[in-house]
Chains A and B, each alone.
Chain A
Amino acid sequence: MYVAVKGGERAIDAAHAWLAEERRGDPSVPELTVAQIREQMALAVNRVMAEGSLYDPDLAALAIKQARGDLIEAVFLIRAYRTTLPRFGASRPVDTAAMAVDRRVSATFKDLPGGQVLGPTFDYTHRLLDFALAAEGTPQPAPMAPAPDEPVPHVTGLLDRDGLIEQQPADDTPAPDLTRQPLELPASRALRLQALARADEGFTLSLAYSTQRGYGRTHAFVGELRIGRVAVEVELPELGFAVEIGEVELTECDTVNQFKGSKSEPPQFTRGYGLVMGQSERKAISMSLVDRALRWQELGEDFTGAPAQDEEFVLSHCDNIQATGFLEHIKLPHYVDFQAELELVRRMRREAVQMQEAAE
């Protein structure tokens, strides 16, 4: 057995050396820098930060380079790095109403204070490959216009004035943290949102899509989608007051849903909420649909058996690092396990043949 281990080591070293070479690719092609990935693959960087649950564009870009562009592998690297860092504390909850918005659209109201701001969106592009990008070049500078100095209030506040939408009153219940305590069910909405904020985008998208197709239907409209920067304010114990220590880019989605009312609530609109690190509106919209579907019990709706309504199903399977860790471990040596299975199958076959012979 010892000999096999030594042989394994040599093979592993050679495999890793080849991996490094393959990662670099053709050496006659210039090497990517971390800064190039950070600046030009920004949405991949955003996804790695969101699912890695660590906001640091340089680290996410490095992880993407190391992972050869495999984003789940990059998320894995970020999650592993995060565990090596001490946590100094928690920020004050960010104020998304004060966001410096790059983009802000509403599908429910045309005219609203602050306006419909498209921002740097893929929407309305023709989704035709642009071969001009195959050549290098500097784009034309984006047009600028005088920015109105007016607040950009949340759209849901407009409905709130008439009492037509459920309120989310401020509350200072300490936020539960699934990175510190094992997940226990039933989970609070705050804990579900933490899990969804770092959940796999593809899984969240598919679940959200399933609710639109009728598996836990919630009739969602995008009340508001906004992308921009918010200040992060942290209480520094040595100072005794809170200070803005930086800014993060976030995507926020508030969906509005029909609600026929319950014993205690009159008919009104209800809400789903999505908040994701970086620019990731597909994920933010998906998150708010899944959040809303998971609220069936709180809102007195029927459980139709839809996957998106099933808290245990959603929360146990939404994390791509847990999922890939368990999935991929089956490719690692299971020689002893398999030897036992082999022994069992041989014995069962022997017994089956003997029974057959006895019957004849």
Chain B
Amino acid sequence: MSQSSQPETTARREWISALAKAPPGRLAALLPDLPAHEMLRAPEIGTVMVQGRIGGTGVPFNLGEMTVTRCSVRLSEGAVGHACVQGRDKAHAARAAVADALMQTGAAPQIATQVLAPLRAAAARARATRAAKAAATRVEFFTMLRGEDA
């Protein structure tokens, strides 16, 4: 990433993440047709070891693995896209890699509005719904009148 500036890296990190976290069916519905591409690395299923920290802040330890699928593609016009998605859905990984490549081409504004924006909105809605349900279970303590105060 020597030639890319920090904001570009941040933007790419965010769209790769949005594509990885997208429900595979939703991504397929938003991006049904893929442009011609060659597989630099065909979708491959493997694992990533998830780490935690002792006490939440201390020394790292291995919690356990999670399944992931990775894929790299090159569009006919030359842009290279990468994906590493949670789970074992090869079509999801391939589609996410193509979308990453498209985001580096003239198609970027179209992908951003037609694919990424709906994905981000849906993710934000899902998160807000859970947060709202959690908030409804928040305990509001009140102090009962104490004997000696009466």
Contact = CB atoms under 8 A, between A and B. Distances in A.
Given A55-B67, A148-B135, A232-B86, A89 B56 contact: no
B46 A54 contact: no
B65 A175 contact: no
B62 A90 contact: yes
Interface string B3-33: 0000001001100110011000000000000
Contacts of B60: 93, 171-175, 190
B125 to A, nearest CB: 12
A146 B134 CA distance: 9
Contacts of B48: 87-91, 232, 234, 245
Nearest to B21: A246
Contacts of B63: 94, 194, 197, 250, 275, 277
A213 interface: no
Nearest to A197: B63
Given A50-B64, A100-B130, A171-B59, A85 B45 contact: yes
B66 A168 contact: no
Contact of A246 (B62, B86, B133): B86
Contacts of B136: 142-145
Contacts of A349: none
Which of B17, B45, B49, B84 has the most chain A CB atoms closer than 10 A to its own CB? B49
A168 B134 contact: no
Pick the most buried of B50, B72, B133: most chain A CB atoms within 10 A of its CB: B50
Contacts of B1: 239-241
Interface residues of B toward A: which range? 35 or more
A280 interface: no
B87 to A, nearest CB: 7
Contacts of A86: 44, 46-47
B128 to A, nearest CB: 7
Contacts of B51: 90-94, 175
Contacts of A58: 87-88
B8 to A, nearest CB: 11
Contacts of B82: 236, 238-239
A90 B49 contact: yes
Interface residues of A, number: 84
A54 B60 CA distance: 18
Contacts of A167: 57
B9 to A, nearest CB: 6
Residue picked from B20, B44, B47, most chain A C-beta under 10 Å: B47
Nearest to A271: B55
Given A90-B62, A145-B132, A243-B16, A168 B56 contact: yes
B65 A273 contact: no
Contacts of B141: 110-111, 116
A169 interface: yes
A209 to B, nearest CB: 23
Nearest to A277: B64
A311 interface: no
Given A88-B70, A100-B131, A241-B1, A156 B86 contact: no
The 3 closest A-B pairs by CB, nearest first: A246-B86, A168-B58, A168-B55
5 contacts: A85-B67, A101-B134, A175-B60, A198-B64, A239-B12
Interface of A: 49-50, 53-56, 58-59, 82, 85-94, 96-97, 100-103, 110-111, 115-121, 142-148, 154, 156, 167-179, 189-191, 193-194, 197-198, 232, 234, 236, 238-248, 250, 252, 254, 271, 273, 275, 277
Given A121-B137, A175-B61, A246-B21, 18 more contacts: A54-B47, A88-B46, A89-B48, A94-B53, A96-B53, A118-B137, A118-B138, A172-B60, A177-B49, A178-B62, A189-B61, A191-B61, A194-B61, A238-B72, A238-B82, A239-B12, A252-B56, A271-B55
